[in-house]
Amino acid sequence: MTEAPRPPHLLHVFSTFCPAGPQVRTVTLMHGWGASYRHTIVACDNRTEASQLIQVNRGVEVAYRPFTPGSGPMAAARYFRELIAEVKPDALATYNWGAMDAVLAAKSMRFGAHVHHEDGFNADETDGLKGRRNWTRRLSLRSSEIIVPSAKLEGIAKKTWRLPRVHLIPNGVDAELFANDPAKGAAFRERHGISADAFVIGTVGHLRPVKNFGRLIRAAAGATFPDGMKPHLVIVGDGPERAKLEAIAQEVTSRIQVTFTGHTSDLVPAYSAFDVFSLSSDSEQQPVSLLEAMAAGVPAATTDVGDISRTLPPEARVHVVPLGVNVEATLGAAFSRLAASKEKRDELARLGLERVRAEYSHGAMIAAYQTIFSSVLGG
């Protein structure tokens, strides 16, 4: 009896597999595709905490390979050449600049089934793109399929990098999975020592420089709140900036309480505990956490980066503030306005939920990605 063919095998290469936008989106795609693909993941920092998000009962088959390149200027490229030759993937999926050694290795082997994802830039490119990286992307990605989540990145990929095969696929979330649950929100507050009547400004993300959570702490501390209101800032996530951020939080304890919860794989209790969601990043494109907060019915105040303004409902864009010398004061003023009016917060929560359901469904995202990967695989 002939054995049934195994599903196509995708090799994913990330700079890190810590829970952040690209990693969370990839897990969502894996769940949506189920047993249609097999997956191998390489994280170039050997951190795989996002694996906790994968639900094996969805039929997902995934393996992890350690990144062990050895030493020398071409060691990483040699490692990926050897890995591709060994595991023989049907397609290679790479994510952002941190996976470029895998791209170069694949091109040197004339490995053609390649999908590259660009989700934004780290702190070293927030003030301007690096010329060498622009040229590397232009030369190494011109025969690859490129997926971006924002119109801003689409423009960069087409005009600056001059890539011909660019696909804009907005991120999507399952709004029902993030439905606000007041009981879970109350339990989250109790677990982390947050008063039931506190006004909670919350954020979710990997604690790294480009997120600039220090700006968020200072902006929240500088906001004006109604008499009797107990402001509390909650930062959900972990990362290399945590100790630095905790030191900043110590400086503002007389003005606002700050709680660091660390990483959590179940974000519904956190979102349900927030009164306002915030991002204070120097660079974003279309943050998954923003969509999750919208799905949970939490209004947002953020910096104006990437496609954040485009993603939010028009009525919410007054609380999206430009980067510049006054950014902390203007973000703090946005918190003040939202704190002053529960009626306005409730209206923005409703509009955000309606928008994420209508424009950013996970079903549409999964179908769009399936079309690209099916094409690359010759389906």
Domain boundaries, the chain: 9-172+361-376, 175-359
Q: Are 290 and 271 in contact (CB under 8 A)?
A: no
Run of H or E residues at 85? helix 75-87
Q: What is the pLDDT of residue 126?
A: 67
Question: Which pTM was predicted?
Answer: 0.86
- In this prediction, the residues of the chain whose per-residue pLDDT falls under 70 are 1-4, 126, 379
Residue 11, φ and ψ in degrees, nearest 5: -100, 115
Q: Are 189 and 270 in contact (CB under 8 A)?
A: no
Fold of 175-359: Rossmann fold (3.40.50)
SS3 of 54, please? coil
List CB contacts of 344: < 8 A, sequence separation 6 or more: 299, 337, 338
Closest CA to 318 of 304, 306, 307, 328: 304
Same fold, 9-172+361-376 and 175-359: yes
Q: Which two tokens stand for residue 102?
A: 């895998």
Alpha-carbon distances, residue 185 vs 142, 190, 200, 301, 313 (angstroms): 47, 9, 11, 20, 24
Superfamily (CATH H level) for 9-172+361-376: Glycogen Phosphorylase B; (3.40.50.2000)
Residue 232, φ and ψ in degrees, nearest 5: -145, 125
For the stretch 255-267, pLDDT in tens is 999 999 998 889 9
